[in-house]
Amino acid sequence: MTKKVVVVTGAASGIGKACVKRFIAEGYGVVAADKGSLDSLQHEIVPDADILDVRVDVSDEMSVSAMFRLAVNHFGHINSLAHFAGVARRKLIPEMTVDEWDEIMDVNFKGTFLCCRGVIPYLRQVDGGSIVTTGSELAFVGAANIGAYSASKAGVVHLTRCLARDHGKEKIRVNCVCPGPILTPMLEKSMATQGDPEATRERVEQTTILGRLGAPEEIANMVHFLVSDQASFITGAAFLVDGGVTAKAP
């Protein structure tokens, strides 16, 4: 087993895409998984990259199981999971339908459960490995008009701790990356729906200590570190990569 293999969900755009590109640059075999088209990713990947494209619905048990089977059939093993598939919706809880609530929980929380549950048997086969889940700064603070998303990410943070506790003796490390305002298509779409998108962006930038939005590549740096052997004594931790949003008073 000469090459380490990582499965990246949410690979078509934003942080997931940045992670795929970082892992390829570091010589990993990469399973790039997303519910949507991966065409835009392919245009940005070097021709000789060792990459497998997979369509997956992380909220569907059979789809997740098929993703891991395809990964092992192609590469022979899996060493790590970087799980970034997710959805966001801004709406007050009294105005939210049950279907809207279920969509957020199914993708963000249930999807994390299914992907972690699915990868652990394969990590056992290689005597351990690393899982990186995706939380959010909003798992730690109460923001306006985004309660369901925030609750789903708080659940992911604590599930991460529990998984780390349960599987540490198997040499499986589990950590959570909690991004702040990162310039992803998801955030751009959210800002575009506001009455004044440019003013909204400036307001979001000023929520950080650094006075700017983060780049997906900055999250990918942390993810690569946590997956690598350099983080061999780190597990059960949630890392805020938020430009200082949660470190200051309003």
Read off the pLDDT of residues 138-173 as tens digits, 9 standing for 90 and up. Answer: 999 999 999 999 999 999 999 999 999 999 999 999
Mean pLDDT computed over every residue of the chain: 94
Which of 68, 122, 149, 239 is the catalytic position?
149
> Could you tell me the residue range of the domain that residue 58 belongs to?
5-181+216-241
**28 part of a folded domain:** yes
Token digits of residue 236: 């059960």
**204 part of a folded domain:** no
- Number of structural domains in the chain: 1
Active site residue 28: no
Answer whether 244's CB lies under 8 Å from 208's CB: yes
Q: Name every residue whose Cβ is closer than 8 Å to that of residue 20 and which is 6 or more positions away in sequence.
A: 8, 11, 30, 32, 41, 45, 51
**189 part of a folded domain:** no
**202 part of a folded domain:** no
Q: How confident is the model at residue 229 (pLDDT cuts 50, 70, 90)?
A: very high
129 sits in which H/E element: strand 129-134
Q: What is the pLDDT of residue 130?
A: 98
CATH of the domain at 159: 3.40.50.720
pLDDT tens profile 51-68 = 999 999 999 999 999 999
Contacts of range 230-233, beta carbons closer than 8 Å, 24 or more positions apart: 231/130, 231/173, 231/175, 232/173
Per-residue pLDDT, averaged over 100-105, amounts to 97
Per-residue pLDDT, averaged over 224-238, amounts to 97
**249 part of a folded domain:** no
